[in-house]
Amino acid sequence: SLTRSRHSRHLGACAAALARFNAGDGGDLAVAAEQLRLARRELGRITGHVGAEEVLDIIFRDFCVGK
């Protein structure tokens, strides 16, 4: 059982991304890869594994870079 609502939310988002991946007909590999990336990101948020892409997203979202 998940003791934190945050874990439950991220696990639900991971499951939704995997469901979208499984529902795909295999026609567009870019869309399938994106769903797998989203699922991995949600699991990483539970385990604490943060990739460089997420760090860059936070920097560009929260700070005024390049102005």
Q: Are 54 and 62 in contact (CB under 8 A)?
A: no
Q: What is the pLDDT of residue 9?
A: 92
Per the listing, tokens 């059982």 go with 1
Per-residue pLDDT of the chain (67 residues; tens, 9 = 90+): 556 888 999 999 999 999 999 888 667 888 888 898 899 999 998 888 877 777 777 777 777 656 5
